[in-house]
Amino acid sequence: MAQMTMIQAITDAMRNELKNDENVLVFGEDVGQNGGVFRATEGLQQEFGEERVFDTPLAESGIGGMSAGLSVTGFRPVMEIQFFGFVFETMDAVVAQMARMRYRSGGHYHSPVTIRSPFGGGVKTPELHADSLEGLMAQSPGVHVVIPSTPYDAKGLLISAIRDNDPVVYLEHMKLYRSFREEVPEEEYTIPLGKADVKREGKDLTIVTYGAMVHTSLKAAEQLEKEGYDAEVIDLRTVSPLDVDTIINSVEKTNRAIVVQEAQKQAGVAANVVAEINDRAILSLEAPVVRVTAPDTVFPFAAAEDVWLPDYKDVVEKAKQVLEF
């Protein structure tokens, strides 16, 4: 075991897969010699060579299209989009091409591509770096959308994502890259896609969340405990498709739930979670399921992040509304 930050765990997962499978290729803007703008691919080109880890021209659509092409010739591309706000340039390649490859070829071809990309607020990035756009991906049949919140999850989920034979959008929250260290096994291990994780057990309220909001929710749960409430925190880990069973089991136990996301209210996946709970567990509910989200504006100017991003106090407030309904 080693103490790793999330970014180190991500590098470790890629190193493991580059070693494990000669068809794994890692590429994107500045991921080669430079080791990535966040050092996620640090040392990988030196270790595995330019044929395996390489830079691309600055064109996200080209990167996506190239991944689709490489995938049908037998490669397993791990492509990087430098910031997920740039996904619009490659929406067609991801959701209209790779996500549909298996289906439109009647199963003859498939695209085992992992699309890695940083996102997330709280670090005062310039425009269109931090936007939470997972909701767009979650609406696209044919992809998995994975968002880890810890170094341990990041490594196991990334190895699973790379090994999955269908496209996986793997989103890395920038604020979590180096915010804390955790024990991460040095040997390989996997975490199944599509499985949520109970990060804190509780009996009074279910908090369903993902990404940086997992930590915000855990902090809120501590505060709630001081006020006499025992909250269960579920980290979705995969936001599409949802692990409905874990959510429903928890709600049937606690009878109350909130959903917490960093994305705007009209975006993200919170509305899906609420709908699934309403569909399946309405008779267990003692109160409506409410959402903690960002407001429905464009992502804030950097200096306004603090007042815009949801924080633990927002979670505590909404939790108490539901607990005291």
Partner 1 sequence: MEKSKTLEQVENQFEMFQIMNEDGEIVNEEAMPELSDDELKELMKRMVYTRIWDQRAISLNRQGRLGFYAPVAGQEASMIGSQYALDEKDWILPGYRDIPQIVYHGVSLEQAFLWSRGHFQGGQMPEGVNVMMPQIIIGAQITQTAGVALGLKRKQKDNVAITYTGDGGASQGDFYEGINFAGAYNAPGIFVVQNNQFAISVPVEKQSAAETIAQKAVAAGIHGVQVDGMDILAVLAATHEARKRGLEGNGPSLIETVCFRYGPHTMAGDDPTRYRSSETEDEWEKKDPLVRFRKYLENKGLWSEEAENETVEQAKEDIKDAIKKADGAPKQKVTDLMDLMYEEMPQNLKEQYEEFEAKESK
Judged by the rule CB under 8 A, the positions of this chain that interact with partner 1 are 51, 56-57, 59, 61-62, 64-75, 92-93, 96-97, 102-110, 141-142, 144, 164-166, 194, 241-245
Residue 244 token pair = 């409905």
Nearer to partner 1, 185 or 194 (CB): 194
Nearer to partner 1, 195 or 200 (CB): 195
Nearer to partner 1, 108 or 226 (CB): 108
Give the integer Cα–Cα distance in Å for 148 and 239.
10
Burial class (CB in 10 A: 0-12, 13-18, 19+), 129: buried
Q: Could you tell me whether strands 168-173 and 182-184 are parallel, antiparallel, or unpaired per DSSP bridges? A: unpaired
Nearer to partner 1, 72 or 282 (CB): 72
Give least dist CB 28 to partner 1, A. 13
DSSP assignment, residue 167? -
Is there a cis peptide before residue 241, judged by omega within 30 degrees of 0? yes
Burial class (CB in 10 A: 0-12, 13-18, 19+), 183: exposed
List, by residue number, the catalytic residues: 129
Give the integer Cα–Cα distance in Å for 191 and 185.
13
Give least dist CB 42 to partner 1, A. 23
User: Which residues share a beta bridge with 208?
Assistant: 234, 259
Give least dist CB 292 to partner 1, A. 24
Q: Which helix (H) or strand (E) holds 53?
A: strand 53-55
DSSP assignment, residue 300? P
Q: Are 207 and 234 spatial neighbours (Cβ–Cβ below 8 Å)?
A: yes
Nearer to partner 1, 102 or 256 (CB): 102
Give least dist CB 263 to partner 1, A. 20
Give least dist CB 69 to partner 1, A. 2
In three-state secondary structure terms, 84 is helix
